[in-house]
């Protein structure tokens, strides 16, 4: 695909995912096909979360004074909040914010709900729309002003250790989720200047879209006791003392759907992982004048069998050319197509076409064993799509030894470049600026930024580096000993 942006825009329209002609900038309409992909994606996430979390639903409006309570938080969002100032013709005494995220909607209630250590831990999530007045260039699903698929989890814990554990828990949850969707990712700790407003630290998942730009697709925030102190969320310990709780929150957005579409798609259009495909199998009858009814009847029978095995199947019996149907289902990303004509019926075979590999095979439909074969082909598709996506993701990762090399790599090959950095904020900001302005000649731009998420080296990684004689590495900017690796990428 030569121009990813153009491809992405066209496929959203052609495959009827999103209509971006709605007359409010950054707010789009989910069309039936897109809505189904969204529904099945959320189903996967719900299935994972429901094991440990409870789903809730909070109001969309937040009173001005609640939003303003947590100073750092409100500062971080002040330029992005939409305000409701009137009820009909009456000016409201207290302005109401459209939630940009729900900490300040939920936590005053948590303060009422949390009583005793026996109430903890508490784990909630909600899937809602949130509003952010983005000033950067908006793009459907990638940077929107109404985030329609905002899954936010909020957890409450008695101790700092449990809170840390929950961060790791959340990382595991997202790993599992993205793995099921075949979306590759890099996990890193954000630099202090790029963390969620009010958090102690932020861990983020980034993927890479086909144009080589990084996209943040999920975040996990350790909120420590910041919000607990602001909203007075305390619990009674076993000994009868009152202590502030520790909290985490973590979220994903419409960007997950953007990644499914962008990462797996190709020149022919969408290529959907079976788990989220509106139809996992489409059956196309190959009809000639003679024996048409027999073929249709046979296909209906196959359709019924696959449906009763729990698959999402569509029998496309429209009276149009088979070639036109092929084109359409390939463009819409249906993972598997069965073609059945008179000769196949005679031979007790069906042609099976895999959308991911664009390959045809023949399977026997003599006995009902074909149902298991279809199921196992679908799981092979899931596996192969994931492998392929990780393959191209890894090709976009490179190391650099100098600032110039890092900048050159980004300029030439995009992707994510990693290198050693001392961990000092002033040095990090200088480095960011060097890459962005001095070397690439990029002036302040609203649509393009260079982010530097940091990856803290774990104990195991340090040991490994020492083995490789790499522990004495220096920061590529200031030359001081480096305890961190960091990365730089052109981001959405």
20 near ligand PR8 (CB under 6 A): no
CB atoms within 10 A of CB 422: 21
Show contacts with ligand PR8 in window 456-485 (CB under 6 A).
none
| Count of chain residues binding ligand PR8 (CB under 6 A) | 20
**C-alpha to C-alpha distances, 195 to 165, 189, 221, 448, nearest whole angstrom:** 19, 9, 8, 19
Nearest residue to ligand PR8, using CB?
251
Half-sphere exposure of 490 (CA within 13 A, CB side): 23
Interaction between residue 255 and ligand PR8 (CB under 6 A)? yes
Contact between 207 and ligand PR8 by CB under 6 A: the answer reads: no
Helices 255-264 and 32-49: crossing angle in degrees, nearest 10, is 110
For residue 54, the 8-state DSSP code is: E
Give the nearest distance from C-beta 194 to ligand PR8 in angstroms. 10
Residues 212-231 that bind ligand PR8 (CB under 6 A): 216-219, 221
The answer to whether residue 386 forms part of the interface with ligand PR8 (CB under 6 A) is no
Q: How far is the CB of 263 from ligand PR8 (least distance, A)?
A: 16
> Distance between CA 428 and CA 83 in Å, rounded?
35
Contact with ligand PR8 (CB under 6 A) among 28, 101, 104, 222: 101
In which residue are the tokens 């930024």 written? Answer: 449
CB of 218 to ligand PR8, least distance (A): 5
CA distances from 216 to 5, 185, 265 (A): 17, 9, 19
**Which of 13, 19, 119, 134 lies at the binding interface for ligand PR8 (CB under 6 A)?**
134
Regarding 38 and contact with ligand PR8 (CB under 6 A), the answer is no
> From the list 18, 49, 105, 147, which residue makes contact with ligand PR8 (rule: CB under 6 A)?
147
Which of 105, 249, 334, 340 is in the footprint of ligand PR8 by CB under 6 A? 249
> Can you tell me which of 181, 223, 252, 350 binds ligand PR8, judged by CB under 6 A?
252
* Shortest Å distance, C-beta 261 to ligand PR8: 14
Say if CB 335 and CB 328 are below 8 A apart: no
Taking CB under 6 A as the criterion, the residue among 66, 254, 328, 344 binding ligand PR8 is 254
Please identify, using beta-carbon distances, which residue of 245 and 299 lies nearer to ligand PR8.
Answer: 245
Cβ at position 185, least distance to ligand PR8 in Å? 11
CA angle 112, 151, 160 (to 5 degrees): 55
| Candidate list 36, 143, 195, 213; residue touching ligand PR8; CB under 6 A | 143
- The residue whose two tokens read 């001095």 is 438
Q: Smallest gap, in angstroms, from Cβ of residue 142 to ligand PR8?
A: 6
From 27, 413, 356, select the one nearest 208 (Cα to Cα): 413
**CB 102, min distance to ligand PR8, A:** 6
State the minimum distance, in angstroms, from the CB of residue 58 to ligand PR8: 11
Under rule CB under 6 A, residue 152 binds ligand PR8:
yes
Q: Which stretch binds ligand PR8 (CB under 6 A): 36-44, 64-72, 109-117, 249-257?
A: 249-257
Name the one range near ligand PR8 by CB under 6 A: 141-149, 295-303, 359-367, 398-406: 141-149
Closer to ligand PR8 by Cβ: residue 127 or 336: 127
Distance CA 46, CA 252 (A): 12
The whole-angstrom separation of Cα 301 and Cα 406 is 59
Cβ partners under 8 Å of residue 193, min gap 6: 425, 428, 429
Site string for ligand PR8, 310-339 (x = CB under 6 A): ------------------------------
Question: Bridge partners of 456?
Answer: 484
Q: Does 253 bind ligand PR8 (CB under 6 A)?
A: yes
Mark the segment that binds ligand PR8 (CB under 6 A) among 9-17, 180-188, 247-255, 427-435: 247-255
In the complex, minimum distance from the CB of residue 39 to ligand PR8, in angstroms, rounded to a whole number? 18
Upstream peptide bond of 121 is cis (omega within 30 degrees of 0):
yes
Q: Which stretch binds ligand PR8 (CB under 6 A): 60-68, 139-147, 422-430, 468-476?
A: 139-147
Alpha helices in 15-148 (DSSP H): 32-49, 64-69, 71-77, 103-113
Stretch that binds ligand PR8, among 17-25, 57-65, 243-251, 364-372 (CB under 6 A): 243-251
Euclidean distance between CA atoms 219 and 196, whole angstroms: 9
Q: Which helix (H) or strand (E) segment is 260 a member of?
A: helix 255-264
- The CA distance from 5 to 265, in Å, is 13
Minimal distance, residue 381 CB to ligand PR8, in Å:
27
- Which positions ≥6 away from 250 have C-beta within 8 Å? 152, 153, 170, 173, 174, 218, 219, 220, 221
Q: How far is the CB of 484 from ligand PR8 (least distance, A)?
A: 21
Residue 253: exposed, middle, or buried by beta-carbon count in 10 A (0-12, 13-18, 19+)?
buried
Q: Under a CB-based contact definition with an 8 Å cutoff, are residues 129 and 148 in contact? A: yes
Stretch that binds ligand PR8, among 225-233, 244-252, 261-269, 294-302 (CB under 6 A): 244-252
Chain contacts with ligand PR8 (rule: CB under 6 A): 101, 132, 134, 143-144, 147, 152, 196, 216-219, 221, 249-255
């Amino acid at each position: 695909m030569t121009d990813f942006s153009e491809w992405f825009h066209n496929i959203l329209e052609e495959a009827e995912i999103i209509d971006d002609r709605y007359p409010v900038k950054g707010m789009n309409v989910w069309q039936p096909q897109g809505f189904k992909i969204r529904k099945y994606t959320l189903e996967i996430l719900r299935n994972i979360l429901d094991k440990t979390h409870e789903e809730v639903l909070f109001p969309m409006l937040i009173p001005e004074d609640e939003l303003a309570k947590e100073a750092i938080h409100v500062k971080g969002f002040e330029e992005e909040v939409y305000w409701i100032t009137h009820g009909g013709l009456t000016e409201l005494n207290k302005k109401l914010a459209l939630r940009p995220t729900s900490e300040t909607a939920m936590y005053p209630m948590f303060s009422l709900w949390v009583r005793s250590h026996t109430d903890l831990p508490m784990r909630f999530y909600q899937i809602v729309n949130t509003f952010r007045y983005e000033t950067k260039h908006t793009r459907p699903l990638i940077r929107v002003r109404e985030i329609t698929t905002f899954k936010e989890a909020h957890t409450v814990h008695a101790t700092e250790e449990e809170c840390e554990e929950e961060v790791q828990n959340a990382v595991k949850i997202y790993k599992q989720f993205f793995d099921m969707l075949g979306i590759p990712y890099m996990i890193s700790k954000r630099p202090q200047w790029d963390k969620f407003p009010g958090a102690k630290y932020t861990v983020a998942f980034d993927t890479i879209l086909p144009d080589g730009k990084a996209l943040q697709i999920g975040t996990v925030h350790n909120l420590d006791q910041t919000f607990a102190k602001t909203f007075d969320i305390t619990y009674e310990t076993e000994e009868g003392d009152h202590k502030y709780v520790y909290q985490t929150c973590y979220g994903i957005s419409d960007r997950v759907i953007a990644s499914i579409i962008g990462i797996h798609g190709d020149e022919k259009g969408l290529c959907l992982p079976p788990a989220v495909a509106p139809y996992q199998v489409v059956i196309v009858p190959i009809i000639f004048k003679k024996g048409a009814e027999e073929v249709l009847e046979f296909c209906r029978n196959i359709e019924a069998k696959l449906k009763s095995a729990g698959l999402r199947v569509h029998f496309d019996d429209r009276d149009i050319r088979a070639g036109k149907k092929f084109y359409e289902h390939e463009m819409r990303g249906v993972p598997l197509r069965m073609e059945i004509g008179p000769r196949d019926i005679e031979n007790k075979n069906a042609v099976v076409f895999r959308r991911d590999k664009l390959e045809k095979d023949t399977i026997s439909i003599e006995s009902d064993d074909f149902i298991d074969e279809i199921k196992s082909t679908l799981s092979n598709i899931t596996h192969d799509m994931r492998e392929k996506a990780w393959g191209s993701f890894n090709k976009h990762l490179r190391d650099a030894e100098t600032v110039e090399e890092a900048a050159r790599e980004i300029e030439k090959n995009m992707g994510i470049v990693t290198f050693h950095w001392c961990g000092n904020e002033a040095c990090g900001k200088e480095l960011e600026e060097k890459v962005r302005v001095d070397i690439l000649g990029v002036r302040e731009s609203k649509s393009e930024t260079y982010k530097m998420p940091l990856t803290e080296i774990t104990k195991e990684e340090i040991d490994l580096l020492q083995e490789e004689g790499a522990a004495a590495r220096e920061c590529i900017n200031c030359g001081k000993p480096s305890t961190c690796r960091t990365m730089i990428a052109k981001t959405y």
